[in-house]
Chain A
Amino acid sequence: MSDQVSKRSSFSRRALLGSLALAAVGTAISACAPAAPPAPTAKPAAEPTKPAAAAAPAEPTKPAAAAPTAQPAQPAQPAGSTAEAAMNPSVAKGKELHLLCWQSYKSDGMAKWFPKYETEVGGKIIIDAVASNTLQDKQIVSLSGRTGEYDLTTVDEPYVPAFSPYLTELSPYVKQDKFPVEDWVPVMWDAGVYEGKVYCVPFDPNVQILYYRKDLLDAKGIKVPAKWSELYDAAMKTQDRDKELWGIVIMTKRDPQTGINLWTFINCWGNEIFDANFKPAFVNDKGYAAAEFFKKLVDNIAPKGHAGYDYAGLQDAMATGKSVFLFNWASVTLSIIQAKNATVADKIGFAPALGEEKQLTMRGVWSMGIPADSKNRDAAWEFTKWFTSQEGQQRYVEGGSGNSCRFSVLDSERFKKAVPHAVALAASIKVAKKRPIFKEYDDILNQLNIFASRLTAGELPPKDTIDGLGKELDAIMKKGGYQK
């Protein structure tokens, strides 16, 4: 009898342990396995009102990176002279549209005036605002899963190519409604176009501008820098590191912005990321010089704890008088000068993007896209017209969400009154550089982030950074089938 009990007990424990191990392993798998997006099945539609759902990329596309760097903006149009696309409120009336966007000052601003859509058009907008680090995850999962969860999504321009198979092609809508494309700054309108097809309507252009302390530069009789080397010299003269007044605050942690910073230096020092054959074009003396400058900048004029700063930290440092310079996206201006803890808001000046051999800034444009699986595509298009109208764009700017892509808005007195950095912004937009239009953009940026972060952390010397980055980007281009 005791033997039986012993056997039963032994078996039971073993079974328990086995179950425990299996359950734990199962949990591990579930946690580790990537989300399971079902294979896309939507077929392109033929009618102009229901544009094609998927644009299959048959051949690798020649990237914009290989093209000349900056595209000057076209001459401004007289304010308010452009006709708006015809609205068709009956399509949108009573329709509830779900919008996926970035939770930030942008969504906060939009939430203030979106209720007007209900009174002016008759539809309703439900905003699903998601934190920046999870927005992209949610977008790719819901778009590729074709869940039909969203009718609209804001798309940051680098992701337009990757998301294009899952977005509604808007070209037929644009043509049908005589959408006033001519009122868009061309280099900004391009942000929503991939392989000649319109997938998104750009509404919020962003370029980097220079924020500087007018009082500190004036006190030393230093003119506002136009080049990075001038900024370095000015910072060396004005900073007071013992009192924790830093020369510049700049992102150096492992973050997409750090990769963009290295990219900007590489471009300003006269290099492109890729040549015409899609091979890395920056592994040369100019590339090494750019990386050396980035390292010198963070070592000598950035805060001692530079690598610990996030976006909020950079803005806070500028608003509270802890830095002489900040090179950042123009859209954060209001959140800096209107910050509750801002102590030097009235002493901050704005200047166009810096140069060295070339003057340029990376362009970043938020656009409005309509998921191909939306059941309310026509209504979503009506909203897009309403949202990107001149009045919509003015409201967007006044709500503190960002800027506008439209000439008529950029030139209006209303815009200039709402945006204190209007002059610097307009000058920077003119030297804005398109990012390369690759589906592998994220892979490229990930490598830039890693190498830039290793450079600024002192883990890799500048030459090794450039050499290593060159090898990784070469491998990505080879894998993507771009190289001849």
Chain B
Amino acid sequence: MSTAERVSTDKSPGARATWARFTRSKAFSGYLFLGPSLILTLAIMLYPLVFSLIASTEHYLLARPNERYSVGLENYLWVIQAPSFLNSVGITLLFTVVAVSLEFLLGLSFAALLNKEFRFQGIIRVIMMLPLFLTPSVVGLIFVRLYYPGDGLVMLFLNLFGVDRNFPLLASPSTALPSVILVDIWRTTPFMFLVMLAGMQSISPEIQEAASIDGASSWQILRNVTIPLLMPLILIALTIRGMDAFREFDTIMLLTGGGPGQATEVISMMAYILAFRIYDVGRASAVAWVILLLVLVFSIFFVKKLRDMQMSA
């Protein structure tokens, strides 16, 4: 009797029966179907995570691959103490709060305006959605030209109101960040609009009619009926957009490269510069993990808020 056969017969009848039952069960088929994608997901997501976690505790410069060694939490200490990190966090928070708030207000307003039957509503809604179809890098390139001093369309338009058309909007410390925020608003307001419109259309018209019969004005209906009913959707939209804005990179990189000075250097740009310009993978990974923690705190806050809301409802 071979070793394999002995091992096979050594299995207790109970275990064999359990295994046989399991292989015939729906759960087994489920695991079988899930398996490949699960392995792929783990390989794609887990490997970079573990790699960057290890790298974040190392002195690891791509330009000096033979000098790689562990430094414990030194990279994290450097990150926390670096003035450029604090500057980047401040800029990122400002960018996120201002951009997402305005996108939400605009998205909600457009949704409220277009949530009714009218002629050409389909065309107008499609036009509203167009910026969402463009990739961030394409948007960046478009706005570089639109903002170009002298002959950029935005500059020619502003010139009508007395603004010097040669003013470098993207390169002036006072206007660079607002100009970048404006681009983000243009690009992602349609997302907010889409989510709000979908939410509004799912609200039963009877509720609004009842409020209207009770004498509520349009503003009162929006404020006291529509928005409270939309609240779970609003929180989800704010969470997704908030995390998105926190990680903003492509458009800003193309528009300003983080300048002038470091006026628009958001935190993900700092990680990029460390990794691909300074080749310091250790510190770049530490920044990436700090970003992860910040995003985690942010998302936990919103998810908890949403859960509280559901509980109270």
Interface presence of A28 (CB below 8 A):
yes
Known: A34-B52, A39-B68, A305-B150. A28 touches B262 (CB 8 A): no
Can you list 11 contacts pairing A with B, beta carbon distance less than 8 Å? A14-B307, A32-B291, A54-B66, A254-B171, A305-B150, A307-B168, A307-B260, A442-B278, A446-B277, A450-B259, A459-B261
Q: Does A460 touch B at the CB level, under 8 Å? A: yes
Q: Which of A56, A161, A442 contacts B66 (CB 8 A)?
A: A56
One of A18-26, A86-94, A387-395, A421-429 at the interface: A18-26
Which chain B residue shows the least CB distance to A303? B166
Instruction: Give chain A's interface secondary structure class.
Output: helix
The docked-state distance in angstroms from the alpha carbon of A75 to that of B212 is 93
B278 to nearest A CB, angstroms?
5
Q: Which of B52, B149, B167, B272 contacts A36 (CB 8 A)?
A: B52
Stretch in contact with the other chain, from B25-33, B41-49, B101-109, B119-127 = B41-49
A453-B63 in contact (CB<8A): no
State the Cβ distance, B229 to closest chain A Cβ, in Å. 16
Q: Which residues of B contact A28 (CB under 8 A)?
A: 243, 246-247, 291-292, 295
Contact call B303/A17, Cβ cutoff below 8 A: yes
- Among B45, B239, B279, B281, the one with the most A-chain Cβ atoms within 10 Å of its Cβ is B279
Main SS of the interface on chain B? helix
Q: Given A33, A136, A254, which contacts B258 in the complex, CB threshold below 8 Å?
A: A254
| Chain B nearest Cβ from A283, distance in angstroms | 19
Q: Contact between A21 and B303 (Cβ–Cβ < 8 Å)? A: yes
Total A-B Cβ pairs within 8 A: 193
**Which residues on B sit within 8 Å (CB–CB) of A458?**
173
Contacts of A254 in B (CB 8 A): 171, 256-261
- Give Cα distance in the complex from A319 to B147, angstroms: 21
CA distance A229 to B172 in the complex (A): 26
Which A residues are in CB contact (< 8 Å) with B281?
34, 37
Q: What sequence of 0s and 1s flags, for each residue 292-305 of chain A, a beta carbon within 8 Å of any chain B beta carbon?
A: 00000000000111
Of listed A136, A304, A457, residue having the most chain B CB within 10 A: A457
Q: Is the CB of B164 within 8 A of A161?
A: no
B65 lies within 8 A of A308 (CB): no
Contact B62 A37 (CB under 8 A): yes
Q: Does B230 interact with chain A (Cβ within 8 Å)?
A: no
User: A253 touching B271 by the CB < 8 A rule?
Assistant: no
Q: Collect the chain A residues with CB atoms within 8 Å of residue B150's CB.
A: 244, 303, 305
Query: Provided the pairs A162-B63, A442-B278 are in contact, do residues A30 and B45 lie with their beta carbons within 8 angstroms?
Result: yes
**Distance in Å from the Cβ of A252 to the closest Cβ of chain B?**
7
Contact indicator per residue, chain A 239-278, by CB within 8 Å of chain B (1) or not (0): 0000010000000111100000000000000000000000
